[in-house]
A and B are shown apart, each in its own frame.
Chain A
Amino acid sequence: MSTTAPGAGRWDGISFEERMATVDFRVGARAHITVDTDVCRSCTTKACVTACPADLFAPTADGGILFNYEECFECGTCYMVCNSEGALTWTYPDGGHGVVFHHG
């Protein structure tokens, strides 16, 4: 058992990238999440940034939000914690695409 090593997204001896590499994502061409970063600039909490278990949201220097949809668990955390109406739209990826759990 390695010891917990906080910082730089490294926990328990594996990087976040290594963690996400264990998951099967069949990435679709269409982004199933869209973010209106103009709305995000007025957001003070940016709850999506810390709560998203896939760490898909990153704050930008100008107060907006950068995101990617490719390695998404499709859990719904981001739109549930988002407190700005209209900032985030979320649908399921197209049929057959997105995350495929083999040990869920």
Chain B
Amino acid sequence: MSGTTTNGTTGPEPLEFDAVVVGAGPAGASAALALARAGRRVVLVERGPFPGAKNVYGGVVYGRVLDDIVPGWWDEVPVERWIVRRSTMMMTGTQSLSVDFRTDAWGSAPYNGMTTLRCHFDAWLAGKATDAGARLLTSTVATGLVRDGDGRVVGVRTDRDGAELHAPVVIACDGVNSFLAKEAGLLARAEASHHTLGVKEVLDLPPGAINERFAVQDHEGVDVEILGCTREIPGGGFLYTNADSVSIGVVVSLPELAASGVRPEALIADLKAHPSIAPLLRGASLREYAAHLIPEGGYDTMPALAADGLLIAGDAGAMTLAAGLWLEGVNFAIGSGYAAGRATDRALSRGDCSAAGLASYRADLEAQFVLADHKRLRKAPSLVLSERVQQHYPGLLCDLAEGMFTVTNPTPKPGGLKLTRTVAARHGVKLRQLAGDTLRGLRIFG
């Protein structure tokens, strides 16, 4: 297209496709893959110089969603380490309490989760789409929607000499800021309360040091989720092992970060200096600093996913699952993108690409994990980000553990209930509230 000769007045002729997919992240690549496999002419538009160039996550990819899409994916995926240890850590400035789980089952095929870097993973998945016949257009921004006289979406404008890409369906996989979904009126222009900011440092650390410090073998990795490390700002932290680096960062409520006056990189520095974390990172040097927004509002804040000639998938559709115990996004992007591609193929076959004609997309998502998980865990974000969970429980639980395990001879050990009552009172929590939140958690997660 860059070589197209323009006549200077009307711009280049629009290029015609069966579908235009915007964004070559996991959602877009999966949508393009589904369409290309169905024999559709599909173009995948990516604003970065290569797929993944604009993308940041924690992160861990959970691969089960790939089983049907790329059978035997684990033999070829660009993996850093296979997660065999999953640790949930609650901390105060001087304490930490971890629930640490390890299993051999996650260390061999078909695996469970893996660390991978997005420029590798996203490019791999987009390569599947181009291998199947999709056309990938990098370094190209989809600057707006093209509509017909009836207001139906029939393509996108691009910043390549103003060229337009036309198709009966556009699938917007353009990420958390999705300007296409906003232009279509599906997504609010700016809703800070539905978003968190993730900031991440990737630190160089030799593989041998990672193996020793995290108690793993080559190719095995660890996933640590942390609560109580973001001062007064609702959020959490994470630490993941890559092949020869570690990813450490925090995810914090956007409006509360803005109100706090705390710099985001200062929160990472706090975490890195914590006595339970610092020894793991000794001597590690910064390889890359990164930041990205996350749509964390959950099911109740999700936009409508279809309009006439338009579907949205992945982060554009707020499909990140940030439910405390579970932090997933790439799998939801893949699942929703592939479903969007298949729904588009069905709509094209029937010759009805209206919102009604595309409605099988949402039905498909409701029937599988993508929306079923979100619906089931719809109340989780508000519980995880609530004041007691954020500000009181990490310290309460750490003090409870310290009280349990500190030997007080010659004073006899305190009873569990008395200790709990004393510690809860110290943290301004009533037993009634503790019991209520436990029940609430069981109802949400149980």
Docked pose: A100 CA to B49 CA in angstroms:
8
Whether B298 is near chain A, meaning CB under 8 Å from some CB there, is no
Docked pose: A79 CA to B140 CA in angstroms:
22
Check A80 against B266 for contact (C-beta < 8 Å).
no
Check B258 against A99 for contact (C-beta < 8 Å).
no
Decide yes or no: A101 and B270 within 8 Å by CB, A81-B192, A96-B49 being known contacts.
Answer: no
Q: Which residues from chain B sit less than 8 Å from chain A, CB to CB? A: 47-49, 52-57, 117-119, 138-141, 143, 158-160, 176-177, 179, 190-192, 195, 197, 199, 202, 242, 245, 247, 254-255, 257-266, 268-270, 272-273, 278-279, 281-282, 286-293
Decide yes or no: A104 and B293 within 8 Å by CB, A22-B286, A81-B258, A94-B141 being known contacts.
Answer: no
What residues of chain A lie closer than 8 Å to B282, measured between beta carbons?
1
The interface on chain A, measured as residues whose beta carbon lies within 8 A of the other chain's beta carbons, has a size of 45
For B266, the closest partner residue in chain A by CB is: A11
For B50, the closest partner residue in chain A by CB is: A100
- What's the minimum C-beta distance from B260 to chain A, rounded to whole angstroms? 7
Docked pose: A98 CA to B55 CA in angstroms:
12
Counting chain B CB atoms within 10 Å of each CB, the highest count among A14, A77, A82, A98 belongs to A77
Check A23 against B286 for contact (C-beta < 8 Å).
no
Docked pose: A54 CA to B292 CA in angstroms:
11
Check A104 against B292 for contact (C-beta < 8 Å).
yes
Check B202 against A81 for contact (C-beta < 8 Å).
no
Name 30 interchain pairs, CB-CB below 8 A, sorted by A: A4-B270, A11-B266, A11-B268, A11-B269, A12-B268, A20-B289, A22-B286, A23-B290, A26-B49, A50-B257, A50-B262, A53-B265, A73-B291, A75-B292, A77-B254, A80-B190, A80-B191, A80-B195, A93-B47, A94-B159, A95-B47, A95-B138, A95-B140, A96-B138, A100-B49, A102-B288, A103-B287, A104-B55, A104-B56, A104-B118
Contact of B258 among A45, A73, A98, A100 (CB under 8 A): A45
What residues of chain B lie closer than 8 Å to A9, measured between beta carbons?
263
Counting chain B CB atoms within 10 Å of each CB, the highest count among A6, A9, A22, A45 belongs to A22
Check B245 against A103 for contact (C-beta < 8 Å).
yes
Q: Is the interface of A mostly helix, strand, loop or mixed?
A: loop
What residues of chain B lie closer than 8 Å to A26, measured between beta carbons?
49
What residues of chain B lie closer than 8 Å to A12, measured between beta carbons?
268-269, 272-273
- What's the minimum C-beta distance from A51 to chain B, rounded to whole angstroms? 4
Check B48 against A50 for contact (C-beta < 8 Å).
no
